[in-house]
A and B are shown apart, each in its own frame.
Chain A
Amino acid sequence: MQCQECDKTATFHITELAGGKPQEVHLCEDHAREYLSNGQEDQPTAPTLAGVLAHQLAVGQTAEDLARLDQRTCPVCGISFYEFRNQGRFGCPHDYICFADELEPLLVNIHGETAHVGKCPQHSATDSAKQTELIRLRREMKDAVGEENYERASNLRDEIRRIEVEVSDKPQADGAAEEAAEEAAEEGEE
């Protein structure tokens, strides 16, 4: 792709999130430096997500590496790295695991740290794999319906219900057994 300011090849692909709607900018190294330094005059030490991403991706990566990386998708929500780069938003919690290597330098840039210290949920998910599985199965069910493969959709629905029941038991493990029983009774009536 060509730099939008000159004839050189665009090696920086910046997504500007500040002005409301995301806006894409494709620039060569010289124009990117100028572009990024202009923006930084207002907020000298506040790194923008787009700026950090552009910088991080441009260092030590060829266009081919970048293209390959861009096409990687999360098996759970289906978001590609390109889409993340473009929107600055992840598609599901699993993206943090799926794109962990690319994310690490980004976190260092934004936060100066890579590990959480502080509050943790008291009823922390012992098996978050099941929750992640639900996200994937619901997406597959939607696709199955879209393809009019209703038998598969129905099987997936049963699978989703089964896991939903399994995971919904857990947060009430703090002695609210009565409530759980009540809910179970209500479900039985339906």
Chain B
Amino acid sequence: MDAGIYVESLFKRYPKGSEVLHGVDLRIPKGAFFTLLGPNGAGKTTLIQILTAVMDADSGTFSVAGFDPRLHFQEVQRRMGVASQSNEVDLSETPAHLLTFQGRLFGMSAADAAARAVELLTAFHLDGEKDKKAGTLSGGNLRRLHCALALVHRPEILFLDEPTVGMDPMARDTFWNVITRLNREKGVTVFLTTQYLEEADKHASEMALMLAGKIVYAGAIAGFKKWVNPADNLSLDESYLEYVKREMVV
């Protein structure tokens, strides 16, 4: 297996709850732009939390960038960046401070971390907000800062869990420009979950569809469209809806 993301027979049950993941299998090659789709509650965020070592799995094998996060926690953290569904920002600090501090935590010198912070503030159009407390930023700017923080240490693999929620169209455009450039030019592997399927359709090439904790399709997005409806040339959004509605009726 190359140093992408590898998951085999992953099971997870919440205490006193139902089984969230029922034997998930996934192989995402290094450098892929992958999207995991599924309705709310399908288990997407749980899978990301397990892969990013925030949550334990009940059983199964998995690796991120060639390492098992449970055994090589620090090695994996150095190689991956995570922009989770909810913001992870210290609201009492400024964007410039937070980005610099994040760089320092990942071992950058003070000068390198400050330079990287400026780079990201510019890339995410946050220059004008850099010295304001994060708590005073608009929802969209806070979200951009949250995503920028995931990129500070130049990760090889990016986990983006519904990253553009709350961003206006301009901010989304800026965000996707940064992410697609990282994927194409730097070979960064992207693992995206989103409910904005037009974004997934536009940027990703590989996908998996998760329903009730099971992967029901994994492969190319173009292949999924043909698999759902070989006759019509449907968008990902239409294909997804058609498939999910069909499954839910059953």
Partners in one complex: no
